[in-house]
Amino acid sequence: MNVLARSWPSVAFRVITRRSCNCNAARFSTSSYIRKQEPIQVNGISYPRDDYTNVTPTILSKVARQLHLQPSHPIGILRSLIEAHFATFEAINTLSPIVTVHQNFDELGFAPDHPGRSLTDSYYLNRQHMLRTHTSAHEVEVFKKGTERWLLTADVYRRDEIDASHYPVFHQMEGAHVVPRSEALATFEASNAILEKKLSNANIVIMDDTKVGASNPYQDCHDPLLAEAATRNLKNSLNSLVLELFGGIANRAGAGEPLQVRWIEAFFPFTSPSYEVEVMFEGKWLELLGCGVVKQATMDRSSVPDKMGWAFGLGLERIAMVLFGIPDIRLFWSTDPRFTQQFKAGQITSFKPYSKNPPCYQDISFWLPESSSGFAQFHENDFCEIVRDVAGDLAEETALVDTFVHPKTGRKSLCYRINYRSMDRNVTTKEARDYTQQIEEAAKAKMGLEIR
């Protein structure tokens, strides 16, 4: 995983930088968590289990929360703000998080061995159905309906480590603008004229030394003039969104300091050319979104082969954490009125911390299973899943603090430090000890770990 994705909830599937794929080696069936072998029910639909099933009740309990639909929740406020900015775009906000593996990956051109598909990285209901890992999973169905300008906000799910900026559920907003090819040049250039004028008068520095070429090409089926106009429209549109969201903050912090935005060449299997956008915040580059010119294959699959245009996908939590000054990603899920009642629809206000509860640390040391044991190869995400399932949002961080290899047997042992802390109340040592014991038992049974 890349450095940015480690310190912030990941927005983008990086093709090479995510963990290596061990789809088969690390099969982790959580079926024994959900003791009953009945099908999984979500929103009144029944999904039979199979050897891919790895969703847990804790994860499924998030589906009903719909934070993005709450008008005075930071995620809902941010959604409305962006929707107001793209005023002519249709807002789509209520699609089910359960999609087919085909929609999430195949339809968008993800390779069969892409790491994002592995059981250690994604949540599956069964071999056919999964919790969407990104809002791009809906691109084809929306384009198919003929919608040309749209914003789609939704909860997305990825298995991950545990710390202040990673949570297995977060929110993305997908946006797209496509146009019939015959009108595309005129449409994009008209929009470019307006946006370029606005940006040239704004206090913004745009760093963009990206090049179109062999590694990030215009598509063969697009006239280069048209591809260039569409790419420039993508850049103008997103630069103006970033200005809207962060312009105020840059001015607040540095008394007239310009906002700095940086464009980076990227790769996504469903766009070309592709980019990532970062913004300078408190001296660090913050990765905001992935975007690009939609591949013709997507337009073909959507039965609109005569259209072309651009799309982007941005992560809402990391933007909300910055804009509202929210220090821990778990706070978004708090139902404590001291959190929920702080915010008002339409307003960005700074989070006021309401309690400082001390953390409670517990260490767990264990030997990894021998390869002959029949248990899957150890993967940190599987261990974190057990921690989340037992301790829920009280688990603030799970960090590897020691590794030891026995000099004679060559057996390997790991020590993880779990930091329990509640946003809302005190966690007692006894409570933490009980959780640790339950985690140890589950880790023994499900992962074959031998507690030391």
Min dist CB 156 to ligand DAH, Å, is 7
Q: How far is CA 427 from CA 12, 303, 358, 393, 396, in A?
A: 34, 55, 8, 12, 12
Position 330, amino acid: R
* CB within 8 Å of 403: residues ≥ 6 apart: 412, 413, 414, 415
Decide: is 9 part of the binding site for ligand DAH (CB under 6 A): no
Separation between Cα atoms, residue 396 and residue 167, nearest integer Å:
10
Among 5, 8, 9, 13, binds ligand DAH (CB under 6 A): 13
Among 59, 67, 99, 311, binds ligand DAH (CB under 6 A): 311
Decide: is 76 part of the binding site for ligand DAH (CB under 6 A): no
Nearer to ligand DAH, 312 or 351 (CB): 312
| DSSP letters spanning 328-372 | -GGGGG---HHHHTT--TT----------PPPEEEEEEEEPPPGG
**In the complex, residue closest to ligand DAH by CB:** 313
Min dist CB 308 to ligand DAH, Å, is 13
Decide: is 319 part of the binding site for ligand DAH (CB under 6 A): no
- For residues 263, 266, 268, 273, the Cα torsion angle rounded to the nearest 10 degrees is 70
Residue the block writes with tokens 């215009």: 218
Nearest to 219 by CA among 139, 106, 150, 309: 309
Nearer to ligand DAH, 311 or 390 (CB): 311
Decide: is 312 part of the binding site for ligand DAH (CB under 6 A): yes
* CB within 8 Å of 210: residues ≥ 6 apart: 216, 263, 264, 265, 273, 275
Site string for ligand DAH, 254-293 (x = CB under 6 A): --------------x--x------------------xxx-
Among 74, 168, 273, 313, binds ligand DAH (CB under 6 A): 313
Among 11, 67, 154, 427, binds ligand DAH (CB under 6 A): 11
Q: Which two tokens stand for residue 5?
A: 């994705």
Decide: is 136 part of the binding site for ligand DAH (CB under 6 A): yes
Q: Which two tokens stand for residue 22?
A: 């061990």
For residues 231-256, one letter each, b for 16 or more C-beta atoms within 10 angstroms of the residue's C-beta and e for the rest, the string is: bbbbbbbbbbbbbebbbebbeeeeee
Min dist CB 189 to ligand DAH, Å, is 21
Among the listed ranges 18-26, 307-315, 372-380, 423-431, the one in contact with ligand DAH (CB under 6 A) is 307-315
Nearer to ligand DAH, 134 or 318 (CB): 134
Nearer to ligand DAH, 74 or 309 (CB): 309
Separation between Cα atoms, residue 397 and residue 165, nearest integer Å:
10
The DSSP bridge partners found for residue 149 are: 177
Helix then strand count (H, E) for the chain reads 12, 16
Nearer to ligand DAH, 49 or 132 (CB): 132
Min dist CB 437 to ligand DAH, Å, is 37
Min dist CB 303 to ligand DAH, Å, is 19
Among 5, 12, 169, 195, binds ligand DAH (CB under 6 A): 12
Among the listed ranges 40-48, 143-151, 250-258, 308-316, the one in contact with ligand DAH (CB under 6 A) is 308-316
Decide: is 131 part of the binding site for ligand DAH (CB under 6 A): no
Separation between Cα atoms, residue 247 and residue 281, nearest integer Å:
11
Residues that bind ligand DAH (CB under 6 A): 11-13, 134, 136, 174, 268, 271, 290-292, 311-313
